[in-house]
Amino acid sequence: MSQKGVSFVAYLLIVFVSIASDVIAQTPQDLYASGMQAARRSEYPQALQYLHRAIDLHPEFANAHAALGTIYLQLGDFPASEEALTRALHIAPGLMQAESNLALLYAKTERFDDAIRVYRNLTQKHPESLPVWLGIASAYQKVDQFEEAVEAYHESLKRSPNHPTAMTNLASCYEAVKQQERAIQYYKAALTQAPNLPMANGNLGAIYQKQGELDKALPLLEKAVRYDPQFTAARYCLGLVLMKKREFQRAAMEYQRVISQQNDHVGAYYNLAQALFRLKQPEEGKRAMEIYRQLNAIAQEIDDRERAILIEPNNPLKQYQLGLVYAKHGKIDKGILAFQVALELDANAHYALNALARLYILQNVQLQDAITYAKKAFNLTQAPQYMQTLALAYFQAGKREDALKAIQTAVEMEPENEAFQRTLTRMREANEKTK
């Protein structure tokens, strides 16, 4: 459970340069100071306005670029943040605010190799910086490099011995490498400092639940979900404990809450069915069991494809087949990622090009990429279904004439294809409505 709930230690290092500011704030330095004051008040639009004006007057103002990147990072505008932070480092290489926040940005956008590279450099230049050690530890943990993460968390604790989040994450690393006693030690230490910390309570409670120490597990899990009602994994473990204690009504309620938070939770449906049967609610139990069987079949299909990837990770066809299964069961983001991996392995995998274009069309995102991929797929094999995909991409992007030409080409290639005919009819009807 701990790996699903790793708390990511995110530190935004903001360096405020002490600059006198007058009422009018016309110089770049004055505008920068006003921007920092607005940022402290969380008035981000105003802060951005001041900083942009400062940069307009002084394009090489590294601290202003760094502050701009920091605010965009806080707002979740990662492309704008990266542009500003990179610019700051180009002007002033080694500027810590820019470099540390760039590392954090890499981690937030799951470019962990880049994050680790930048953090390593920072640990050499700023070995006493707690945020830097916490940042690199979290990045290592995210990519399952637990030995390195453990070492980095210990370095963090040398600098802040009572840091509860560092102790919690360290404990979860020990848990991941099956060092349960060390995990328990650090979860307990974290709770000594922060008794209501949901992650430490939930993960420690889950360990006790697995060990059968139900009386120890119960209060910890209850506290975890009390302070973080969305901690689904802890709530599920709480249900397991209540089942063992024969508190079936409470267990059923917890499983229902789990399902409301994660409607494809296989275990929750199975255990809900068991609780309902014990509560002498057979019809409700049968319905829950039927959903469990359906979800379990889906999970098994996905698991089979994922295991195939473990055996042949560099096979683009296996990645494509995994993407199809994800897409079939509504896991669109995972499907997109699988198709992208297939294309990284083989840029000319026409089947993956077409499938990725289809998902982009379905999501109404990256439509120009969808057009490009569909064109390339068709050029590689001349398959009429790829021309249909191109037509759909054009149509979704508002290029109605191109869409009609493409679907007409598909129909000419395969006149008996009813799907092509239906697509052509729908496009013509849509065009008539817009006239």
Instruction: Find the domain containing 93 and state its range.
Output: 1-101
Alpha helices, DSSP H, located in 160-231: 164-176, 180-193, 198-210, 214-227
Evaluate whether residue 363 is within a structural domain.
Answer: yes
Evaluate whether residue 181 is within a structural domain.
Answer: no
The last residue of one of the domains, among 54, 80, 101, is: 101
Please count the CA atoms within 13 angstroms of the CA of 280 that sit on its side-chain side: 0
The last residue of one of the domains, among 47, 73, 101, is: 101
Q: In the structure encoding, which two tokens stand for residue 128, read together?
A: 């006493």
CB 159 within 8 A of CB 133: yes
pTM: 0.74
Q: In the structure encoding, which two tokens stand for residue 195, read together?
A: 């008794």
Q: Is the pLDDT of residue 6 over 80?
A: no
The last residue of one of the domains, among 72, 101, 130, is: 101
- pLDDT given at position 432: 80
- pLDDT given at position 121: 96
Evaluate whether residue 287 is within a structural domain.
Answer: no
How many domains are contained in the chain? 2
Short-list 267, 288, 294, CA closest to 276: 288
Confidence of residue 168 (pLDDT cuts 50, 70, 90): very high
Evaluate whether residue 305 is within a structural domain.
Answer: no
Confidence of residue 83 (pLDDT cuts 50, 70, 90): very high
| Rounded Cα distance, 156 and 7, in Å | 15
What rounded mean pLDDT belongs to the chain?
92
**For a pLDDT cut of 90, what percent of the chain falls above it?**
90
Query: Coil, strand, or helix at residue 17?
Result: coil
Confidence of residue 7 (pLDDT cuts 50, 70, 90): very low
CA distances 413 to 18, 385, 391, 417, 427, Å, are 70, 10, 14, 9, 18
Please provide the DSSP assignment of 28-97 as one string. Answer: HHHHHHHHHHHHHTT-HHHHHHHHHHHHHH-TT-HHHHHHHHHHHHHHT-HHHHHHHHHHHHHHSTT-HH
- pLDDT given at position 309: 87
Name the phi and psi angles at 302, rounded to 5: -65, -45
DSSP one-letter code for 4:
G
Evaluate whether residue 427 is within a structural domain.
Answer: yes
Mean pLDDT of 373-397: 96
Which CATH number belongs to the domain containing residue 366 in this structure?
Answer: 1.25.40.10
Evaluate whether residue 351 is within a structural domain.
Answer: yes
